[in-house]
């Protein structure tokens, strides 16, 4: 008669002066030592649950499962690089077999991530990955569900004041990237979209935005995949911008770099501009203009604010910025719409005045 398999118990090792958890799983002997009997018992409980469920530990660590999850998905190069960067913060939790993952492991992992924004991003990503593990019946429940995210106060979106914009424009006069900076300030192109522009994208009074430049893993990449579905768009240009682009095109003709597939704003050697070089030049430009140092992306925020406060309809602003919807635009820029409330107040005041005039005239 075959002996019934019973759940093992932790035992004391005199030589190591530690409690030992030992079990045979996957045909291999698993053993770990702990300072307390309770810790050893917890480990045995986890191993025993996997064994009773017929699970396996080989090749199913969180690191292996997460890397495979990212590898098989269709992601943009920037998103793939971002996911990889977040997953690098998993620490020791990455080496825990997926069937043994518990809430305490996830909490400990998140506590070791110093930056709150990164911590919350990692939490969301791991929750999504482990939801797939639950579907495959590697886990009974998702241990990330129910863990509260750390409160993160986002930095307020900054913009350049009208005086700062004027100072930047004066300092950019004759600059090799003058037209690029003007485009960013007027229609809010993302920096990567600026450096991805080619002369073939210019069609009379319109500019087609169709690609973006990214640095992934230290390599410069020109991607035809937009950041959003609305990223590929056609933008109407003002006479001011057309004039700056004409000046830039004349310079490109003299340099022999005005072919349709040539970058509109090339680097020093004629190739695609490295974003880091452009950021450095913009920083120098701000210093020359006497403007406090901010990111080039601040030009995009400034353009959005100017358009929204200037009365441009929200759907048009959203389309120009390349947002998927007006909701996205409002979520990001609602706090910058300082004059919209005044405009509504003026409208109702005007209605009130007109109503009073009508009543006065009818009495007369």
Q: Which residues touch 295 (CB under 8 Å, ≥6 apart)?
A: 279
The verdict on domain 162-340 having CATH code 1.10.443.10 is yes
103: confidence class by pLDDT, cuts 50, 70, 90: very high
Cα dihedral across residues 136, 137, 139, 143: positive or negative: positive
Share the mean pLDDT of the chain.
84
**Mean pLDDT lowest among 219-223, 296-300, 360-364:** 360-364
pLDDT at position 341 is 46
Q: How many CB atoms lie within 10 A of CB 127?
A: 16
Q: What does the buried/exposed string (b/e) look like for 187-225 if buried means 16 or more CB atoms within 10 Å of the residue's CB?
A: bbbbbbbbbbbbbebbeeeebebbbbbbebeeebbebee
pLDDT for residue 240 is more than 50: yes
- 8 A C-beta contact, residue 154 and residue 334: no
When pLDDT is averaged across residues 92-117 and rounded to a whole number, the result is 90
When pLDDT is averaged across residues 26-35 and rounded to a whole number, the result is 81
Give the long-range contacts of residues 88-95, CB within 8 A, separation 24 or more: 89/113, 89/118, 89/119, 89/122, 90/62, 90/63, 90/66, 90/122, 90/126, 93/62, 94/61, 94/62, 94/63, 94/66, 95/61, 95/62, 95/63
Q: What digits encode the pLDDT tens for the residues 242-268?
A: 999 999 999 999 989 888 999 999 988
pTM comes to 0.64
**Mean pLDDT lowest among 154-163, 175-184, 207-216:** 154-163
Q: Which helix (H) or strand (E) segment is 215 a member of?
A: strand 212-216
pLDDT at position 124 is 95
Domain boundaries, the chain: 62-135, 162-340
pLDDT for residue 53 is more than 50: yes
């Amino acid at each position: 008669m075959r002996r019934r398999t019973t759940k093992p118990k932790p035992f004391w090792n005199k030589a190591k002066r530690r409690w030992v958890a030992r079990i045979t799983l996957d045909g291999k002997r698993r053993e770990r030592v702990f300072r307390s009997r309770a810790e050893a018992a917890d480990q045995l409980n986890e191993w025993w649950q996997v064994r009773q469920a017929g699970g396996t530990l080989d090749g199913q660590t969180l690191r292996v499962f997460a890397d495979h999850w990212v590898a098989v998905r269709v992601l943009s190069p920037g998103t793939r690089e971002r996911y990889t960067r977040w997953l690098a913060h998993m620490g020791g939790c990455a080496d825990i077999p997926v069937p043994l993952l518990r809430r305490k492991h996830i909490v400990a992992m998140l506590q070791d991530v110093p930056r709150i924004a990164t911590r919350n991003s990692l939490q969301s990503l791991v929750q999504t990955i482990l939801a797939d593990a639950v579907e495959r019946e590697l886990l009974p429940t998702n241990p990330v569900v129910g863990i509260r995210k750390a409160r993160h106060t986002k930095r307020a979106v900054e913009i350049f004041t009208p005086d700062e914009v004027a100072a930047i424009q004066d300092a950019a006069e004759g600059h090799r990237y003058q037209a690029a900076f003007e485009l960013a300030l007027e229609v809010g192109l993302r920096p990567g979209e600026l450096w991805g522009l080619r002369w073939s994208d210019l069609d009379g009074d319109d500019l087609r935005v169709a690609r973006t430049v990214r640095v992934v893993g230290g390599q410069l990449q020109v991607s035809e995949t937009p950041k959003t579905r609305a990223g590929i768009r056609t933008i109407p240009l003002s006479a001011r911008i057309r004039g700056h682009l004409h000046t830039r095109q004349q310079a490109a003709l003299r340099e022999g770099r005005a072919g349709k597939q040539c970058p509109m704003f090339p680097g020093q050697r004629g190739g695609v501009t490295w974003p880091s070089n452009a950021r450095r030049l913009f920083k120098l430009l701000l210093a020359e203009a006497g403007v406090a140092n901010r990111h080039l992306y601040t030009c995009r925020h400034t353009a959005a604010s100017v358009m929204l406060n200037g009365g441009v309809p929200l759907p048009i602003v959203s389309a120009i910025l390349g947002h998927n919807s007006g909701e996205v635009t409002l979520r990001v820029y609602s706090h910058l719409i300082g004059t919209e409330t005044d405009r509504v107040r003026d409208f109702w005041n005007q209605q009130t005045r007109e109503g009073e005039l009508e009543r006065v005239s009818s009495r007369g």
